[in-house]
Structure 1
């Protein structure tokens, strides 16, 4: 009797025939047996709804492939999962309980995750006095200084700063972006990885005036509108928020469910802004209606910089795909595409005051220059080297007269080069940690603000 062991007469000694079974079929069978070990016909379990991809948190939020099976309920979790003695405490807010018999989750004990919707935006005035003797707020440009902050700038010549004037401290984590108040520069806005935005006085007491909190994760970028009355902020919590500079009120919120990396308000049409996203798109929003107006979708990696040029009729973008693209504002097809084998991804940008060039911080430790007129070609003669940016994305800034270009450095230096000759003029040891933000004052001859990885701001002259 072939195939049986003759000794015992009942042990099969045949072989198992190999067969192909796809992983999903195997898993389905495995689940059926796990859920129903007695072999009774298993009931196919239904998943919860996937949710809306546009909603990040709260009811109807996007779950996608992570949606639970309907029988799996957190309250039916077994004792083994949490241990017999451990209590799982769920915290609700009191007023929520009074209003709703079935309250929404706010924060799960043992985790640091909050519902982003539940946070709410707050702003606090922390200066010494909100109004002066004439009832004007800090938005009023001061006239009692030895420098004129309004009107025509004239032909002021810039110089390299030498000494430290003031140190501003409030943020607890890295500074991500700095912005002087447009034109006058009498206020300074700072964004930080501690999720806070702060407004500082540049003259008089040089104090912290107002804080804006409402983001739940690191703020990556901020940008003023041309009048300075409002600014937009972008954060890793996937929200972009429009704030009133004076009152601190959050006017509008925008999200596509993806992380914004850069936001720029169009100086030509200040009620619209562009956002470069982690999903390779550039989104154009209208701040009045809150609607998405246009989508530019040609990059192959997360978008890092957006720079307006040609009197705000065009803009240039760079991305992790190591390319540069130029666009007509409002038309979602690039007019120029540059991707060379020697190019690195360009992480920060600054337009030259002449309007003819854009300086870009390249990841291979140099600043490169592209023309921002019709040709959008690289200016091969202009390359600024001698600083180290690897692993960080230090900002680039050009002096208002276009004579100097400056950048942060991972060694804590702020570096200055001559725009024409590309020679490094000067290096200041501004911090003992990497220096990531730098901006020139729009009106002063030699004043520069720097921000480092520890959240310290320093004002130089």
Structure 2
């Protein structure tokens, strides 16, 4: 990073656990964490653009939907009267809450990922399965398709699509990596990657034959 200069610096009043850049506005990002609020920032001015408020204690992950006009957040809300706030859809420009009637099961969703070609997104759940949703209003869940076989068990296990969208990959609390066929939701193969919980598995953005994995203990591996 020699020769690079810092272009943004700011102090946030809550601990940040997730940050995402806007897909079309390169100078804007959103951040969330241990707070009821999600904030959007402008790098050019180092100022907060908008604040998105929900009756939750923590934002676990965030995901911009196609074109960046809307985004969804996953939260820590799991009690009987708050299960309808587990996943919330927001209007980016107005900061209005579009819907909190998206996911009604009492599981938190530690990670979200968008399909690269279709208007769909997936939520990893602590129910040991991944749920499929439409990325268009009203963001309906696909009740006929569920990706299950791996284990989450309270870990912040990530999931991701392959660049061509045919595979869905996820880590597992038993250290394995699971590869699912996106269309059939069937397990294609598993990889015994780590001794500790595998919390992330991601494809290389240019070389899809390469896969990076990491575990809870900090071990990182690259697979071909």
TM-score normalised over the length of structure 1: 0.45
User: Do the aligned residues in 2 keep the contact of 1:414 with 1:430 (CA within 8 Å)?
Assistant: yes
Partner SS state of residue 254, structure 1: coil
Alignment of 1:317-396 (within 5 A): 317-322=73-78, 323-338=86-101, 341-396=104-159
> Which sections of structure 2, spanning at least 5 residues, go unmatched?
79-85
Report Cα offsets for 1:9-42 as digits up to 9, x if no partner: xxxxxxxxxxxxxxxxxxxxxxxxxxxxxxxxxx
Cα displacement (A) at 1:440: 0.7
User: Do the aligned residues in 1 keep the contact of 2:8 with 2:43 (CA within 8 Å)?
Assistant: yes
Equivalences, count: 217
Q: Hey, what's the Cα distance between the residues in 2 that align with 1:392 and 1:331?
A: 33
Cα displacement (A) at 1:445: 3.9
User: Do the aligned residues in 2 keep the contact of 1:299 with 1:319 (CA within 8 Å)?
Assistant: no
Cα displacement (A) at 1:375: 2.1
Cα displacement (A) at 1:341: 4.6
User: Do the aligned residues in 2 keep the contact of 1:272 with 1:285 (CA within 8 Å)?
Assistant: yes
The match for 1:99 is none
The match for 1:262 is 18
Q: Hey, what's the Cα distance between the residues in 2 that align with 1:311 and 1:252?
A: 24
Cα displacement (A) at 1:439: 0.7
Cα displacement (A) at 1:373: 1.3
User: Do the aligned residues in 2 keep the contact of 1:309 with 1:355 (CA within 8 Å)?
Assistant: no
Alignment of 1:297-336 (within 5 A): 297-322=53-78, 323-336=86-99
Report Cα offsets for 1:78-121 as digits up to 9, x if no partner: xxxxxxxxxxxxxxxxxxxxxxxxxxxxxxxxxxxxxxxxxxxx
Q: Hey, what's the Cα distance between the residues in 1 that align with 2:118 and 2:72?
A: 13
Q: Hey, what's the Cα distance between the residues in 1 that align with 2:164 and 2:216?
A: 28
Report Cα offsets for 1:429-459 as digits up to 9, x if no partner: 1111111111111222422111112322211
1:290 equivalenced with 2:46 (yes/no): yes
1:421 equivalenced with 2:188 (yes/no): no
User: Do the aligned residues in 1 keep the contact of 2:20 with 2:31 (CA within 8 Å)?
Assistant: yes
After superposition, the Cα gap between the structure-2 partners of 1:287 and 1:371, relative to the gap in structure 1 and judged at 3 Å, is same
Report Cα offsets for 1:182-211 as digits up to 9, x if no partner: xxxxxxxxxxxxxxxxxxxxxxxxxxxxxx
User: Do the aligned residues in 2 keep the contact of 1:359 with 1:367 (CA within 8 Å)?
Assistant: yes
Alignment of 1:264-279 (within 5 A): 264-279=20-35
Cα displacement (A) at 1:299: 3.9
Q: Hey, what's the Cα distance between the residues in 2 that align with 1:364 and 1:247?
A: 46
Report Cα offsets for 1:160-191 as digits up to 9, x if no partner: xxxxxxxxxxxxxxxxxxxxxxxxxxxxxxxx
The match for 1:192 is none
Partner SS state of residue 8, structure 2: strand
Alignment of 1:223-234 (within 5 A): none
Q: Hey, what's the Cα distance between the residues in 2 that align with 1:315 and 1:290?
A: 21
Report Cα offsets for 1:61-88 as digits up to 9, x if no partner: xxxxxxxxxxxxxxxxxxxxxxxxxxxx
Q: Hey, what's the Cα distance between the residues in 1 that align with 2:130 and 2:198?
A: 16
Q: Hey, what's the Cα distance between the residues in 2 that align with 1:421 and 1:246?
A: 47
Q: Hey, what's the Cα distance between the residues in 2 that align with 1:415 and 1:357?
A: 20
Alignment of 1:28-39 (within 5 A): none
Structure with more relative contact order (C-alpha pairs < 8 Å, separation 6 or more): 1
The match for 1:402 is 165
**Which has the larger share of helix?**
1
User: Do the aligned residues in 2 keep the contact of 1:316 with 1:326 (CA within 8 Å)?
Assistant: yes
Cα displacement (A) at 1:421: 0.7
**Which has the larger share of strand?**
2
